[in-house]
Chains A and B, each alone.
Chain A
């Protein structure tokens, strides 16, 4: 009975226990560098396209004339209006590339989490220290680190997106930006919760990883607008936590 309890505990607790090898360290560093560079390129491309979108006429276009007192001058957009148009288009351009951002995010997340949870069965002894604790320990010892890693990376992506927008336009619609970026990245947090739930309840990291990649492909079709994505992400997170708690509680009672 004790060994079964240890096995169950180990699945949940060992997220923060495994020591990675040198090869894994190198893989993580490479994953992070590639992940951050890729997302930076996507933000850069979004800002570039937003700037072109806000351009009033093409660099090879024709210009209409006017004659004072005879033909009224055509309306010219002010500098502020162009900056504003670019700044408000930028978040929607990021949203357009949400699938790419999400795949980059998922791959870099997996590159960080994979070495830490690879040795699920190897760390059974390390889990012995929590034998007499409440099942809630899994939330702060297992789920919380995962959510913190996910939220930390999401926040840094958000700051990076704002930084790129600031360099390009010196104007960003913070309200829109928050809605768009938070929607996409909260979706990431929601899937992080489910990744943890699926991995630890099945005991198979591959199933969790497969789920996270399949879900990343689904984001493009799942929700049509950022507001709805935000709501779905919050509900998804809540549902993940409830399912995890229910599974935990049932397993705990069965032991």
Chain B
């Protein structure tokens, strides 16, 4: 092989490898397809009583961030380790709100779910848990909120 042909081949191979590599990065190769987080609602035993006395709801609000493959993603949020559901109108004492980008959904239950398309690997969602202290009477225990994000298969 001549040196000039070889030089051209080296450039072409180099560009080819770069493009293949970048396509793999775009596809999210090597990134997880699932994210799971468990968040403890700190001090719910004490704060529930204080909030109830002041007639206000007890609010937990935080940001969940993680790295996932880009693509169609479903984010599930739910309350765990809670058995004492005692609202007078039969509803959940929790209102869950999940926001990812411009999409947002609220559920007055123990679960909330949202599906959206993501272009970037970094997923950032805001989770808000409002505990109703006026209409409901709960016996708070250790309460956990799980956040699970799954990238749906293409």
Contact = CB atoms under 8 A, between A and B. Distances in A.
Given A64-B42, A112-B10, A167-B25, A156 B18 contact: yes
Interface string A57-77: 101111111111111011011
A36 B24 CA distance: 13
Contacts of B59: 65-68, 73
Interface string A192-214: 00000000000000000000000
A170 B119 contact: yes
Chain A binding surface, main DSSP class: helix
Nearest to B24: A40
B54 A67 contact: yes
Closest CB pairs A-B (n = 3): A59-B37, A62-B42, A55-B65
A106 B10 CA distance: 16
A41 B26 CA distance: 13
A213 B98 CA distance: 52
Interface stretch (B1-9, B80-88, B108-116): B1-9
A116 B1 contact: no
Chain B binding surface, main DSSP class: mixed
Interface of A: 16-22, 25, 28-29, 32-33, 36-37, 40-41, 44, 47-48, 51-52, 54-57, 59-71, 73-74, 76-77, 79, 82-83, 86, 112, 115-116, 153, 156, 160, 163-164, 167-170
A36 B18 contact: yes
Nearest to A59: B37
Contacts of A153: 14
Interface string B28-68: 10110001111111111001001100101111111111110
Contacts, number: 160
Contacts of A63: 39-42, 60-62, 145
11 contacts: A25-B6, A52-B67, A63-B39, A65-B43, A65-B58, A67-B58, A69-B56, A73-B61, A82-B122, A164-B25, A169-B120
B1 A20 contact: yes
Given A20-B6, A67-B57, 8 more contacts: A51-B121, A63-B40, A65-B44, A65-B58, A69-B56, A116-B3, A156-B14, A164-B25
B21 to A, nearest CB: 4
B17 A76 contact: no
Contacts of A168: 67, 120-122
A19 B6 contact: yes
A65 B65 contact: no
Contact of B122 (A25, A33, A65, A83): A83
Nearest to B53: A70
Contact of B25 (A19, A28, A40): A40
B114 to A, nearest CB: 15
A41 B29 CA distance: 10
A36 B21 contact: yes
A40 B41 CA distance: 39
Given A65-B41, A167-B26, A56 B120 contact: no
Given A67-B59, A76-B61, A82-B63, A57 B39 contact: yes
B90 interface: no
A47 B68 CA distance: 12
B93 interface: no
